[in-house]
């Protein structure tokens, strides 16, 4: 044995022969490792498990909620309000019926509520790594000290000898020492659905893609057939699965556009309110001619009311409920949202990177061409339904009129391990999709596999192997034994001497061979997977090891070209994407010709567009990739690292990326993407846990539907932010005007302001959150995800409305203060009722309220009616009067409140008319949101 140190992190094991591999790992295929070697290596490499990076604890997440600048300001207001109440109690100035500290308690209750909402949104534990760990820790049989034993997968070390058989989950990466008919399902790692045949004797080139390294086995994959012995080469974080775990942990979650906008909103509101407070305090002291404790206390009370007024306490709850309602609508459209902010984030997507198989396609192989030497047939029909037409030169033919076609159909049915089933849910295939396509083809030609298999039972077979690239079955019939063979067209053609022409045999001349190979290339260029089919009569059943001599002197039957057919609805979805300014990109592990054919059909790429393969991408630097990223719409033969690099390159170019995936290998890219989309049917637990959204039907069209919902949600969020903050600005200005006007009391208490911000603002805002989509929602480009919350006129509208709102209310306040005893309640009621008219008017930026269908959003009518009734209860129900500090209004006082409130509705409607006239004269499009 070699004594050189173990350093296997960067060794390309697939490029080494068996002897070199065993030597490098200081192991022995006959005896395995000794206990002392195992102990030494465990010390060096650690346990064979994935290491988890330390995340935020639950306490840290909870405390982070209270670092929000708006909540911090509310906490400060609550503390100061509590101090003032305590001073009043101590001095005996509090009113007899006054509930002590009610403002403080109410404000702190809102702080706790908002903090709890934020905590619930963020406290979902990161489960992607936990799902990975499930794949990495099965039981495994090993050879140690010349004895076989079963151990936990976590106890494996490099140099261990593993025994593998069908049904076993591979516990570590390894180099095959020997293998018998070994097939491994690597879909979780590579994304490819088909089991891969393995060969211990192969040595492949260094840059061979992961899925083509047939001499290696990988942690987290599953043995589906055969048996093998493997030498463990990598464990823990050095395995391919471990590398994915490392990439997963290296991806840092960025705040969503909505989170960034809400943070910006908080900063602007708090900064603006603090400036206003300073101005009011200084202005009030100047007005009274200097420092005065009584006046200062009044100014402090005004400042507290202003601070409460400026913070939209109900906004976090309204946003959360809006996003939750969005998730419910998306579930009805087969999209399950795992993280609430992703609902709105979808509306900002500019690029969708999609897998091909199952998402853009049906994940059902369908035979489209059958090429005999003398006839070229086109086959119609969808999915696994064994019904369809054969066309020859554009005319439908009866396949039973062509004996050579019938012979090929029989071969497709009998050289096959799949079963076609029919139940209440329709037709389905039990077995390999490619073989299933051949059974369906036979059915379309009038050959039913089930009765045929009873008439011509299988007596022997030569299983598929990666060296021969073909399989053969031997069946018995009335005329004796026949062997049917299918596989690589080139290799099967080499084994043929004749071909079937009708009912007779003819010689395969060099010219005919050349024509068959050319036809094979033509079909492959169309993106079809092509198989060759042949037959041979036999006198007896050959032994299993006689495949090399038996699979000779075959009779060529023809070529079969099949395609994983595109989903019909995806073509329209791609068109909608492009109309909406969203660029679809295909990223697949398939061959570039297949990818081009599907992408061209669906409209993702145009004829002649460039394709970038994984091998080419590997040679590009990050800067070079970013230069090409804007012109490439198809990426073929890609690996996990490639997907991650593609997403990062798009993001560096300012794109907002949605990425689909179903395998473990997709998890890092899903987490890196702005929206990670996992497959609900074929997706692994790891991909789902790393994603923001799960497609319940694995359909690309669902992504487009979810994107539309995301745009509607963002539009409605802007709509109710405009509604809430417009009134808040008005409230602040009204409160600030009171000391400047020399009023003896604050017009609104903090508790009354909380009522307006939570109930008067909150209920109509929730109703606005379910406003139906505007007609152009998918006819325009996505809005810039980095745009300010105040962009596109929202900020100017809020200021404009707030100023008018305040001006109207201040005029009413001046009149009421001088002529009516209940002026504070009148101000309170006017502000609340005016909001109801505002809610009705703000449904559209361009259409008048009378032009809108009032029942298209019945929730708004209910909210306005209920809120108005609740406000009147505060004024006229004695217990509520006492708690909120209101007085019953006379009929005259209430009429004045209603009249001034209606002015705000009239103002908004007149503003729409003005904008309509202005836009018509200047040919300017009116904004729809």
- pLDDT tens digits for range 377-401: 999 887 788 888 999 988 999 999 9
The DSSP output letter for 546 is: G
Please give the backbone phi and psi of residue 164, each rounded to the nearest 5 degrees, phi first: -120, 145
What would the mean pLDDT of 587-605 be, rounded to a whole number? 84
| For residue 107, pLDDT beyond 60 | yes
Higher-confidence residue: 494 or 662?
494
**Residue corresponding to tokens 């306005």:** 864
Sign of the Cα torsion 744, 749, 752, 753 reads positive
Q: Are strands 147-152 and 139-144 parallel, antiparallel or unpaired?
A: antiparallel
Q: What is the DSSP letter of 783?
A: P
- pLDDT band at residue 891 under the 50/70/90 scheme: very high
pLDDT of residue 100: 64
Closest CA to 697 of 677, 681, 709: 681
Average pLDDT over residues 17-35: 90
Query: Which residue, chain included where needed, has tokens 């109703």?
Result: 767
Say how many residues make up the chain. 929
Token pair listed for 446: 């009038």
From the number of C-beta atoms within 10 Å of its C-beta (0-12, 13-18, 19+), residue 635 rates as buried
Cα–Cα distance between 211 and 189 in angstroms, integer? 9
Q: What is the DSSP string of 5-66?
A: ----TT--GGGS-HHHHHHHTT--TTT-B-HHHHHHHHHHH--SS--------HHHHHHHHT
More confident residue, 90 or 224: 224
- Rounded Cα distance, 771 and 715, in Å: 9
pLDDT for residue 466 = 62
Residue 692 has pLDDT above 90, yes or no: no
Task: Please check whether residue 179 is in contact with residue 447, taking contact to mean a CB–CB distance below 8 angstroms.
Answer: no
Q: Between these two residues, 185 and 639, which has the higher pLDDT value?
A: 185
* Residue 290 pLDDT greater than 80, yes or no: no
Exposed, middle or buried: residue 802 (CB in 10 Å: 0-12, 13-18, 19+)?
buried
- Give per-residue burial for 551-575: e unless 16+ CB within 10 Å, then b: beebbbbbbbbbbbbbbeebbebbe
With contact defined as beta carbons under 8 Å apart, do 225 and 195 qualify?
A: yes
Mean pLDDT (the chain) is 84
Is pLDDT of 735 > 60?
A: yes
Least confident of 79-83, 378-382, 789-793: 79-83
Please check whether residue 744 is in contact with residue 822, taking contact to mean a CB–CB distance below 8 angstroms. no
Mean pLDDT throughout 607-629?
87
The span from the CA of 458 to the CA of 476, in Å, is 7
Residue 223 has a pLDDT of 87
> What is the tens place of the pLDDT at every residue in 806-831?
999 999 999 999 999 999 999 999 99
List the one residue out of 183, 182, 173 whose CA is nearest residue 220.
173
pLDDT beyond 60 at 896: yes
- What is residue 132's predicted lDDT score, i.e. its pLDDT? 55
Mean pLDDT of 476-503: 91
Please tell me the predicted confidence (pLDDT) of residue 551: 92
| pLDDT, position 741 | 83
User: Quick check: 650 and 92 in contact, CB under 8 A?
Assistant: no
- Could you give the percent of the chain with pLDDT greater than 90? 34
The rounded distance, in Å, linking the Cα atoms of 248 and 425 is: 38
pLDDT tens for residues 160-197? 999 998 878 898 999 999 988 788 888 767 666 567 78
| Euclidean distance between CA atoms 727 and 364, whole angstroms | 56
Grade residue 54 by pLDDT with cuts at 50, 70 and 90: low
Q: Select from 778, 928, 791, 929 the least CA-distant residue to 346.
A: 778
Residue 795, H or E segment: helix 794-819
DSSP one-letter code for 236: G
Q: Which residue has the tokens 């539907």?
A: 705
Q: What is the predicted pLDDT for the residue at 125?
A: 45
pLDDT of residue 53: 60
C-alpha 454, offset from chain centre: 48
Predicted confidence (pLDDT) per residue in 831-873, tens digit = 999 999 999 999 888 888 998 888 889 999 999 999 999 999 9
pLDDT above 60 (res 928): no
How many CA atoms, within 13 angstroms, populate the side-chain half-sphere of residue 669? 29
3-state secondary structure 720-771: HHHHHHHHHHHHHHHHHHHHHCCCCCCCCCHHHHHHHHHHHCHHHHHHHCCC
Taking the CA of residue 371 as centre, how many other CA atoms within 13 Å lie in the half-sphere pointing to its CB? 21
Asked if residues 418 and 194 have their Cβ atoms less than 8 Å apart, the reply is: no
Element (H, E) at 147: strand 147-152
Least confident window among 91-95, 380-384, 514-518, 893-897 = 91-95
- Lowest-pLDDT range, 207-216, 285-294, 610-619, 828-837? 285-294
Q: What is the 3-state secondary structure (H, E, C) of 264-291?
A: HHHHHHHHHHHHHHHHHHHHHHHHHCCC
- Per-residue pLDDT, 2: 40
Q: What does the alpha-carbon distance between residue 790 and residue 282 come to, in Å, rounded to a whole number?
A: 29
**CA dihedral sign of residues 421, 426, 430, 431:** positive
Dist CA 807 CA 521 (whole Å): 78
**pLDDT band at residue 133 under the 50/70/90 scheme:** low
Are the C-beta atoms of 384 and 419 separated by less than 8 Å? no
Could you read off the pLDDT of 431-474 as tens digits, one per residue?
A: 778 888 999 999 999 999 999 999 999 998 888 776 678 899 99
Average pLDDT of the residues in 40-66: 78
pLDDT at residue 662, rounded to an integer: 78
Cβ contact 769:720 at 8 Å: yes
Percentage of the chain lying above the pLDDT 70 cut: 91
Higher pLDDT: 276 or 32? It is 32
Residues 6+ apart with CB under 8 A from 129: 50, 52, 245, 248, 249
CA angle, 852 then 858 then 864, to 5°: 95
Q: Is 355 a catalytic residue?
A: yes
Burial of 540 (0-12, 13-18, 19+ CB in 10 A): exposed
Write down the catalytic residue from 103, 173, 355, 698. Answer: 355
Distances (CA, A) of 717 to 70, 206, 656, 662, 743: 19, 52, 20, 31, 37
* Residue 337, Ramachandran bin (φ over 0: left; ψ between -120 and 50: alpha; else beta): beta
Whole-number pLDDT of residue 134:
62
Rounded CA separation 254/43 (Å): 37
Element (H, E) at 665: none
Residue 332 pLDDT grade (very low, low, confident, very high; cuts 50, 70, 90): confident
Q: From residue 130, give the alpha-carbon distance in Å to each of 80, 141, 833.
A: 46, 24, 53
| Span of 182-196, 219-233, 564-578 with lowest mean pLDDT | 182-196
């Amino acid at each position: 044995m070699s004594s050189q140190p173990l350093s296997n992190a960067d060794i390309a094991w697939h490029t080494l022969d068996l002897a070199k591999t065993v030597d490098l790992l200081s192991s022995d295929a006959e005896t395995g490792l000794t206990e002392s070697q195992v102990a030494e290596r465990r010390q060096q490499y650690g346990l064979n498990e994935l290491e988890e990076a330390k995340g935020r604890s639950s306490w840290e997440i909870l405390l982070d909620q209270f670092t929000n600048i708006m909540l911090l300001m509310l906490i400060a207001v609550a503390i100061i309000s509590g101090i003032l109440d305590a001073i009043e109690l101590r001095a005996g100035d509090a009113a007899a019926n006054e509930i002590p500290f009610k403002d403080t308690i109410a404000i702190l209750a809102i702080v706790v509520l908002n903090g709890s909402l934020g905590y619930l949104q963020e406290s979902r534990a990161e489960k992607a790594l936990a799902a990975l760990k499930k794949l990495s820790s099965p039981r495994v049989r090993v050879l140690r000290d010349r004895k076989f034993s079963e151990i936990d997968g976590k106890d494996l070390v490099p140099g261990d000898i593993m025994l593998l058989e069908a049904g076993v989950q591979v516990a570590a990466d390894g180099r095959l020492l020997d293998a018998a008919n070994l097939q491994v399902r690597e879909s979780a790692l590579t994304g490819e659905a088909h089991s891969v045949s393995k060969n211990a004797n192969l040595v492949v080139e260094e840059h061979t893609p992961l899925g083509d390294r047939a001499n290696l086995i990988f942690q987290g994959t599953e043995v589906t057939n055969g048996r093998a012995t493997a030498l463990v080469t990598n464990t823990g974080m050095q395995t391919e699965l471990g590398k994915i775990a490392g990439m997963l942990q290296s991806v840092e979650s960025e705040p969503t556009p909505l989170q960034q906008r809400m943070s910006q909103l908080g900063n602007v509101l708090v900064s603006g309110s603090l400036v206003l407070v300073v101005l009011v305090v200084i202005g009030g002291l100047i007005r009274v001619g200097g420092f005065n404790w009584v006046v200062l206390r009044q100014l402090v009370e005004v400042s507290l009311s202003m601070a409460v007024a400026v913070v939209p306490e109900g906004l976090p709850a309204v946003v959360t409920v809006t996003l939750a309602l969005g998730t419910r609508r998306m579930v009805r459209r087969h999209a399950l949202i795992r993280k609430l902010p992703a609902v709105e984030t979808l509306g900002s997507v500019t690029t969708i990177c999609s897998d091909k198989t199952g998402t853009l396609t049906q994940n059902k192989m369908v035979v489209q061409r059958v090429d005999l030497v003398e006839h070229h047939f086109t086959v119609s029909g969808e999915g696994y339904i064994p019904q369809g037409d054969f066309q020859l030169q554009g005319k439908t033919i009866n396949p039973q009129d062509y004996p050579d076609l019938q012979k090929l159909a029989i071969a497709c049915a009998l050289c096959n391990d799949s079963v076609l089933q029919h139940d209440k849910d329709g037709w389905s295939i039990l077995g390999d999709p490619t073989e299933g396509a051949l059974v369906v083809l036979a059915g379309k030609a009038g050959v039913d596999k089930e009765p045929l298999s009873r008439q011509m039972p299988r007596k022997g077979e030569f299983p598929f192997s990666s060296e021969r690239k073909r399989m053969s079955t031997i069946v018995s019939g009335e005329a004796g034994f026949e062997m049917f063979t299918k596989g690589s067209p080139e290799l099967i053609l080499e084994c043929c001497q004749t071909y079937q022409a009708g009912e007779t045999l003819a010689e395969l001349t060099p010219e005919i061979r050349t024509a068959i190979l050319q036809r094979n290339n033509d079909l492959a260029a169309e993106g079809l997977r092509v198989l060759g089919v042949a037959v041979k009569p036999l006198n007896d059943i050959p032994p299993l090891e006689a495949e090399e001599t038996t699979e000779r002197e075959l009779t060529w039957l023809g070529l079969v070209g099949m395609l994983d057919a595109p989903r019909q609805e995806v073509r329209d979805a791609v068109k909608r994407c492009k109309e909406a300014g969203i660029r679809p990109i295909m990223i697949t592990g398939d061959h570039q010709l297949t990818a081009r054919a599907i992408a061209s059909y669906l409209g993702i790429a145009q004829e002649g567009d460039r394709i970038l393969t994984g091998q080419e991408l590997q040679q590009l630097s990050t800067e070079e990739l970013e230069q090409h990223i804007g012109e490439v719409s198809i990426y073929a033969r890609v690996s996990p690292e490639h997907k991650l690099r593609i997403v990062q390159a798009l993001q560096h170019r300012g794109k907002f990326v949605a990425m689909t995936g179903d395998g473990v290998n997709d998890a890092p890219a899903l987490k890196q993407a702005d929206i990670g989309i996992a497959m609900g049917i074929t997706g692994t637990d790891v991909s789902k846990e790393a994603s923001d959204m799960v497609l319940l039907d694995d359909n690309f069209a669902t992504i487009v539907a979810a994107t539309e919902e995301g745009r509607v949600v963002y539009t409605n969020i802007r709509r109710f932010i405009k509604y809430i903050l417009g009134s808040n600005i008005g409230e602040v200005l009204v409160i600030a005007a009171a000391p400047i006007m020399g009023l003896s009391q604050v017009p609104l208490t903090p508790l009354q302001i909380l009522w307006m911000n939570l109930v008067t603002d909150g209920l109509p805002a929730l109703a606005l959150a379910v406003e139906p989509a505007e007609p152009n929602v998918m006819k325009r480009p996505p809005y810039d995800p980095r745009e300010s919350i105040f962009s596109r006129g929202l900020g100017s509208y809020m200021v404009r409305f707030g100023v008018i709102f305040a001006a109207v209310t201040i005029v009413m306040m001046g009149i009421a203060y001088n002529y009516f005893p209940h002026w504070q309640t009148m101000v309170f009621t006017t502000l609340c009722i005016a909001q109801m008219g505002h809610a009705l008017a703000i449904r559209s930026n361009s259409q008048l309220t009378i032009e809108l269908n009032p029942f298209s959003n019945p929730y708004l009518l209910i909210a306005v009616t209920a809120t108005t009734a609740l406000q009147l209860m505060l004024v006229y129900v004695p217990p509520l009067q006492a708690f909120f500090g209101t007085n019953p209004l006379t009929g005259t006082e209430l009429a004045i409140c209603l009249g001034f409130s209606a002015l705000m509705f009239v103002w908004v409607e007149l503003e729409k008319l003005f904008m309509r006239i202005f836009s018509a004269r200047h040919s300017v499009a009116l904004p729809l949101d």
